[in-house]
Structure 1
Amino acid sequence: MVTAGARALLALKLLALSLLALPRIALAQDDAPAHPDAPPPEEETPVVDNDPPARVDNEGLIVRPSSVPEEEAYGPLEVTVGGDKAPPGAVSLGRKQIQEMPGVLGDPYRAVEVEPGVTPVASGVPYYFIRGAPPGNIGYFFDGIQVPLLFHVGAGPGVIPPGLVQGVDLHLGPYPASFGRLAGAVVDAESVPPRDDWRAEGVFRTIDIGGMVEAPLPDDFGSVLVGGHYAVGAAILSAAVPSVDIDYWDYQGRASIKTSATGRATVLAFGAYDYLASVEDDKRDVLLDSDFHRIDLRYDDQLPGGGTIRAATTLGLDRSRGAGVESVEDFKVGARVIVEKPFGKRAVVRGGIDAMIDVYDVTPGDAQECTTFVCESGPLGSTTEEELSDAFRILFPDRIDLALSGWADMLIMLNKRSSITPGIRLDYYHSLGESEFAIDPRLVGRFGITDHFRLVPAVGLASQPAGFPPLPGLTIGGLPGGLQRAFQTSFGGEGEIGPVDLRGGVFGQAIFNLTDAIGGERGGGFGADRFLNRSLGLAYGLEASARGALTRHIFFLASYTLSRTTRSRLTVTVPSAYDRTHVAQVALLFDLGKNWKAGTRSLFYTGFPAEEVNPYRPRSEDPDRVK
């Protein structure tokens, strides 16, 4: 399929970018970099007066407990609402952490690559298996808005620029009840709050340029932001790697207006375009030609007596051309309401409803001969285009899909150090006359053993329809085979030893009725069965990470994952095609003084199974591995 066929080209693109990319130049930064010997804490606990029952931050939507004196740890306790702490079991990366993380080029979404539990499909290719869940089961969000892609083609920059991102949360599973329709993991980025002063920044690289400007409105009325990227160096890259033709651009815009002392209306618009083709002489085969666009209109306000409410409407358009279809367009209309309210002094209740309508307009593609090296001597076969065209006629018909959801959870403070968060989510799906319903409960906790060490258990269910590798507009229609259902568990610990933050734990995940065209069907052709076959996906393992200051001038980050991922169908159990037993990363940042820094990052992983699917030979439960 497209992802497999593009892998060789993406590797060439990565090589070219590594040679051509120049450092990112910030014309102005709104945050000073953190000093290596004082890394930003994973979570901060504010002191709150006991007079008002609760303080609510209008911009934040994630609950966290307020601090109380030690002698009152088991007495009266208050909770507040804020936006700078991830739920238990999630990994939260702040703006300063991302800016100074070696090897990610300041890209917020790329920063999740260094976390344990995240297994790359291939080095430099921005698609991941997270705790065994395939790329089609991973959800990417920006400010609560789902997007189909995180990065531009190859090893290009993120589709959302770093200057617009406040932080990133990686929810390995179970994830909060506010997210759903995903039997895997969630990567969620939060936008920077609107500013009341001018700011600007620019990115100048050989391959692309970009920038962002934010300006305040008169009379403290609000602010306006515009930004974007364009691949001006695509011609240079194509000259350096003649077999590759690429192009990409993105844009962002935001207008935020204060409607009252507590209310704010915001319009957020963003989108991206990507093009990738293989070229040989005068022959050209398009591997990726897609774009997506989002417009989100929202209103945030505080509730009387404490709490917040957000009402939002989202309009979207996802499009892909070529690669099995002449064109596909997905017109999206969504709405959501989220409410948070303190309940007494020891709990915060959150809840919401959301709906999404997708209208698909598909023009099937005709079988075309694949003439370049990708098919003649590369990873695809000469009949791939014909197989994909036939399969996509079945998978992606014209239709209207509907999804309705309701969810609720409650943060309950047991004492100063400990909390539990029970939650539940209900989802209804309708497509091509078929309907499915899911009830997904979850329970997570954080139990402080000491002031510097906490245990974090979690268990939950998650559901989604048949998955497909993330490409704009390409979503399997008709709910064939029913829903995928994931049972997710983990048990870990987190703590601090001086300036070093430590995390570790074990996890287990079972995905029933799994569709995995990448990890479960490698080498099995490109017919419709490849994308519709169901299996039981199991993943289990151990994760560990550490980050902090080794000295006043050296900051380090290390992560390690030991895991096993299998696929079972009937009586046969085999490793996932991208099962990697060991994945380890080490990164170092050196403070050279006078605002100069140098960093290095190393990635090590063991090989995936070398065995291809062969209908005439049973697959091995312990195959040889790619070295």
Structure 2
Amino acid sequence: MKTLASVLCLLVATGALAQVPDDAGTLDAGVPTGVLTKPPVLARQVEAAYPPEAAAQQLEGTVVMFIDISETGAVTNVEVTQPAGHGFDEAAVEAVKQFEFTPAEVDNVPAPVRIQYAYQFVFRPAPPPEAADGGAATPEGPVNFSGQALERGTRKPLNGAEVVLPELDLSTVADAEGRFSFRGVPTGTHEVLVVVGGYDRFRTKETISEGQQTRATYYVQRRIFSPYETVVRSDRERKEVSQTTLQVAEVQRIPGTQGDTLKVVQNLPGVARPAFNGGQLIIRGSSPQESGVFLDGQRIPLLYHFGGLTSVYNSELLEAVDYLPGNFSAYFGDLTGGVINVRSREPRMDRLHATVGVNLIESNAVIEGPITETLGFAVAGRRSYIDLVLGLVPEGDSGPNLQVAPRYYDAQLKLVWKPLSRHTFTLQGITSRDRLGLVFERPTANDPTINGSLDVTTGFNQLRLRHQYRADALTLDTHALVGNTLIEFTLGERGLRIASTDVNLRSTAEYAFGDALTWAGGVDVTSSFARVTARIQSPPREGEPPNPTVTEEILDTDGDFLQYFPSLWTELRWRPVKGLLVVPGVRAESYIFTEQTRPRRTLNPRLAVRYALTEALTLKGGAGVYHGPPVQDEPSVGFGNPDLRAKRSLQYGLGAEWQVRPEWFVSGEVFYNDLDGLITRSNATVERDGEQVPERLKNGGVGRIYGLEVLVRRALTDRLFGWISYTLSRSERRDTPESGWRLFDNDQTHVLTAIASYKLPAGWEVGARMRFASGNPNTPVIGSVRDDGSDVFIPLYAAVNSRRLPSFNQLDIRVDKNFIFDKWALNVYLDLTNAYNNPAVEGIAYNYNYTESAFFEGLPILPVLGAKGSF
């Protein structure tokens, strides 16, 4: 009899708000990356005594436990999560407490971690006496039995798997490639046992022949299958006051998202529910265009395809998504709202991998792998086919007909070259395109000018070149981007076309003077050269209820426009005493537009502080100045005013984080944003080139946003994860000094989201998402007057946003089934959005003279059936 201890460190993801090193590299987004760069390795193992009771009954068992390992590699705590009884638990804990590890590293810095460890007890009968034919193994003999242990479905090498010949009392441990070998195994048929923590025991028999070498490949089934690695937690400071990081392994199967990682951002604290569950990001009561979406620290024009159906970047190529609702560092700028930074991962270099996904809306595919030992590639593509499905539906006899349904595609190509250990070169290409077309057979009742056809096209292409240099103290990152963006809109005889060329450059440097002080700074330049052709009515601005467009002035423009935003930033990360992190920073920004009489410049000082009162409780706070330049048509003569100033937001936040247990995390924060310089309508005229021209827009508005955010999170473990997020907030505006305060168009007092996902035996997984949100403000119609010139009724409105639409509530359910084969895996899922068929009220529709009205509802129950295969 002998104890078999199988070593496997399954790193437990503690999820969104796990603390990562404050002095980690900021190459990806000016924030610590929190990447596990070196796992803990067992350096000293102590064999547990086999319990006499279990030995007498020839019992076997597996004890699953959490092990806390310090930054020095010492075991500080052991907690049994799946007991085996019969004395196995006590024996395993006593042995594991004496283990020693080489420390784990996060961003190349030693860090404390929690791992999941399975201690395997295998009963081995006493070996039989040596046979007369020389049946005993000869350790000095030639290798006559070898093979490889791989994870079933992913073919991942099982480093540390123990391969046992129980009858012969022989065992060996697989190397990093999962390979093992035995010497001098006697001829005959022998039982083979492969034992790995977290995996089912693999039993088989092999026949050893005289003078021949037997080779075998064993595919071992993981108990709870997941194609993704989980992520280590490090209990050290970070510099961002309010940052949530979503790991792909946690969010691929959240109900209602169809496996799209980026759509999960809409379930976090501070994010309001967008109309029609669309793609707008409304963060802490700010307008969607005031928040920025970044990919590896560089802006992308769009995050979602039409209607928010899916994101423009394939989730299979993501490492994580960083969400910063406010008080972000000086690395980011030109924004008064929040930040979404998407971090792409490097291609896998062990072998060729592929993933193909198909559902009722779209199909996508990903291929990645090594080209050489230092060069890897990843290519992905996606195409929707809603237009093909709806094209089979017969046209009706009335109402608008679909000529071209929403159609979109996107593709990504990434090459990563590491010629030297400290240098990484990345070339990335991205393309995305959407098109929507409608035909109106006759004018609408409310507006006779809306007829003919509607055609909308959006898209962009980007080519990115990046160089990263990492040394012991110095880190450099230079990221250049060139691309183009297209926005094209046609409605009858009206239309808008913007075709721009975009050139961006970001260069960042960071230097650690020691453990107590790190400096970071850089240059950030974005520029856009656009050709704009337009003949449209000016659309309603925020806070303005819609009127029939027949009453609006038609505006024309045809010309070239420049937007050029150079910025410089710097910050310090100072740790004067243990547990305290102080991050002062400043960002200088400039805004230059075509036809502008003089450039605009802003200075943005910022301060963030974190203090760990105890190992479990951390206080955090921040204050800063943030500016956002005019956007879209606002800085043009034809539609706005090129001499507009930047909008300003003074942001304040104060909160706390409580790590109740390693897998449980609670965060709370109160915030206040003071806004001024908001852009509003103007009926005045100004002098330009010696002539009086309409001012159209001015910096005349102010605003205030305040609220509370709470997040309770259960980290990803083998089976269960989820979170509850709640936001209580109010966002108000005042358009002129004489007007009163009114609600922001997208103000939502309460937003509550609860998410849970649980992995069942036999490859099943179930999840649910419950959402509640206050209804958006609405400006009610109190009457109408007939316009004799156009024969259209003009609505009369009550006070702006003086009522609310009914509240929103919805349940989404997802069921997954994993089929695991030796060399590939198949996931089949049903994603049921709006499970109890409660369509959301998205607005109010009126008849031609506004005497009758009805709620305008969103989508009913939506089942999406899909499958994804990978190898």
Tell me the TM-score range normalised by the shorter chain. 0.7 to 0.9
Going from structure 1 to structure 2, the CA distance change for 1:550 and 1:108 (only over 3 Å counts) comes to closer
The 5 A counterparts of 1:340-379 are 340-365=510-535
State the match for 1:557 in structure 2.
Answer: 723
1:308 aligns with 475
Distance change >3 Å, CA 383–CA 96, structure 1 → 2? same
**With structure 1 as the length reference, what TM-score do the two structures score?**
0.79
**Residues of 2 paired with 1:69 and 1:476: CA distance?**
63
In the alignment, structure 1 residue 483 sits paired with structure 2 residue 646: yes
701, 704, 709: which one aligns with 1:543: 709
1:489–1:58 distance in 2 versus 1, CA, 3 Å: closer
In 1, Cα distance between equivalents of 2:586 and 2:249: 33
SS at match of 1:588: strand
Matching residue within 398, 415, 433 for 1:273? 433
Identity over the aligned pairs, expressed in percent?
Answer: 24
Query: CA–CA distance in 2 between the matches of 1:194 and 1:541?
Result: 41
In 1: Cα distance, 2:537 partner to 2:335 partner = 32
2:498 is matched by which residue type in structure 1? V
Residues 1:496 and 2:672 aligned together? no
Q: Deviations over 1:5-64 (max 9, x none)?
A: xxxxxxxxxxxxxxxxxxxxxxxxxxx9998xx754743657x9xxxxx98698785348
Q: How far is the alpha carbon of 1:596 from its aligned partner?
A: 1.6
The 5 A counterparts of 1:149-548 are: 149-197=302-350, 198-218=352-372, 220-239=373-392, 243-244=401-402, 245-281=405-441, 285-286=453-454, 288-303=456-471, 305-323=472-490, 325-365=495-535, 382-383=548-549, 387=552, 390=555, 393=557, 397-432=559-594, 433=596, 434-468=598-632, 479-498=642-661, 499-515=663-679, 534-548=700-714
Structure 1 residue runs of 5 or longer lacking an equivalent are 1-31, 49-53, 71-77, 371-378, 518-527
| Superposed displacement of residue 231, structure 1 | 1.3
Describe the superposition over 1:583-612 as per-residue Cα deviations: whole angstroms up to 9, x where unpaired. 111122122222321111121111222225
Q: What is the Cα deviation at residue 356 of structure 1?
A: 2.4
Question: In the alignment, is the contact (CA less than 8 A) between 1:431 and 1:477 conserved in 2?
Answer: no
Contact 2:426 2:465 in 1 (8 A): yes
Q: What is the TM-score when the length of structure 2 is the normalising length? A: 0.58
Instruction: Report deviation, 1:495.
Output: 1.6
The one-letter code matched in structure 2 to 1:93 is L
**Aligned partner (choices 241, 245, 264) of residue 92 of structure 1:** 245
Query: SS where residue 754 of structure 2 aligns?
Result: strand
Instruction: Go from structure 1 to structure 2 and tell me whether the alpha carbon gap of 1:88 and 1:551 turns closer, same or farther (over 3 Å shift).
Output: closer
> Distance in 1 between the 2:641 and 2:537 partners?
24
Q: Indicate the residue corresponding to 1:588 in structure 2.
A: 756
- Rounded to whole Å, the distance in 1 between the matches of 2:496 and 2:321 is 35
Letter of the 2:375 partner, please give it. G
Corresponding residue to 1:105 among 238, 258, 269: 258
The answer to which of 171-180 and 616-625 deviates more is: 616-625
Q: Following the alignment from structure 1 to structure 2, what is the Cα–Cα distance between the partners of residues 549 and 240?
A: 45
- Contact persistence 1:169–1:187 (CA under 8 A): yes
Residue 230 (structure 1) shift: 0.8
Q: Which runs of 4+ in 1 moved over 6 A?
A: 32-35, 54-60, 64-70, 78-86, 528-531, 549-552, 613-618
Alignment of 1:602 with 2:758, yes or no, is: no
Matched position secondary structure for 2:306: coil
The 2-side partners of 1:107 and 1:91 are apart by: 17
8 A Cα contact 2:280 2:308, kept in partner = no
* Alpha-carbon distance between aligned partners in 2 of 1:106 and 1:436, rounded to the nearest angstrom: 43
Q: Distance in 2 between matches of 1:624 and 1:513?
A: 26
- Unpaired runs of 5+ residues, structure 2, are 1-8, 37-69, 74-104, 110-230, 396-400, 443-450, 540-544, 682-693, 783-793, 807-871
Q: For residue 733 of structure 2, what is the amino acid of its counterpart? A: R
Structure 1 residues 508-517 or 418-427, which shifts more?
508-517
Structure 2 counterpart of 1:538, which letter?
R
Letter in 2 for 1:544: V
The alpha carbon displacement at 1:553 in A equals 4.9
- Corresponding residue for 1:3? none
- Provide the rounded CA distance (Å) in 2 between the counterparts of 1:60 and 1:511: 26
Aligned to 2:804: 625
Counterpart in 2 of 1:22?
none
Q: What SS is found at the alignment partner of 1:259?
A: strand
Work out which structure has the larger RCO, using CA pairs closer than 8 Å and 6 or more positions apart in sequence: 1
* Paired positions, count: 555
Amino acid at match of 2:774: T
Report the residue type matching 1:558 in the other structure.
Answer: I
Whole-Å separation in 2 of the counterparts to 1:241 and 1:176: 54
Alpha-carbon deviations, 1:239-275, whole Å to 9, x = none? 5696452111111011122232311221111021011
CA distance in 2, matches of 1:230, 1:109: 17
Q: Say if 1:228 and 1:252, in contact at 8 Å, map to a contact too.
A: yes
Moved more, 92-101 or 268-277: 92-101
Cα contact 1:322–1:365 (8 A) shared by 2: no
Alpha-carbon distance in 1 for matches of 2:527, 2:721: 47
Alignment deviations for residues 285-314 of structure 1 (CA, whole Å, 9 cap, x no partner): 3353111111111111124x4221112221
**1:343–1:460: structure 2 CA closer, same or farther, 3 Å change rule?**
same
Q: 1:240 to 1:203 in 2, by over 3 A?
A: farther
More displaced stretch, 584-593 vs 83-92: 83-92
2:269 — aligned with what? 116
Structure 2 vs 1, CA of residues 64 and 450 (structure 1 numbering), >3 Å: closer, same or farther? farther
**Structure 2 SS opposite 1:110:** helix
The alpha-carbon deviation at position 481 of structure 1 amounts to 2.4
Paired with 1:55 and 1:86, the residues of 2 have a C-alpha distance of 10
Contact 1:57–1:81, Cα closer than 8 Å, also in 2: no
Q: CA-atom RMSD, angstroms?
A: 3.8
Question: 1:541 corresponds to which letter in structure 2?
Answer: G
CA distance in 1, matches of 2:360, 2:605: 49
Query: Structure 1 or 2: larger helix share?
Result: 1
Amino acid aligned to 2:346: P
Q: Deviations over 1:307-345 (max 9, x none)?
A: 211122210101111256442111111222111111222
The one-character-per-residue Cα deviations of 1:331-365 (angstroms, maximum 9, x if unpaired) are 11122211111122212211111222211111223
Distance 1:155 1:334, change over 3 A: closer
For residues 100-125 of structure 1, the C-alpha deviation after alignment (integer angstroms, 9 at most, x for no partner) is: 43433332221111111111232411
Give the match's secondary structure for 1:319.
Answer: strand
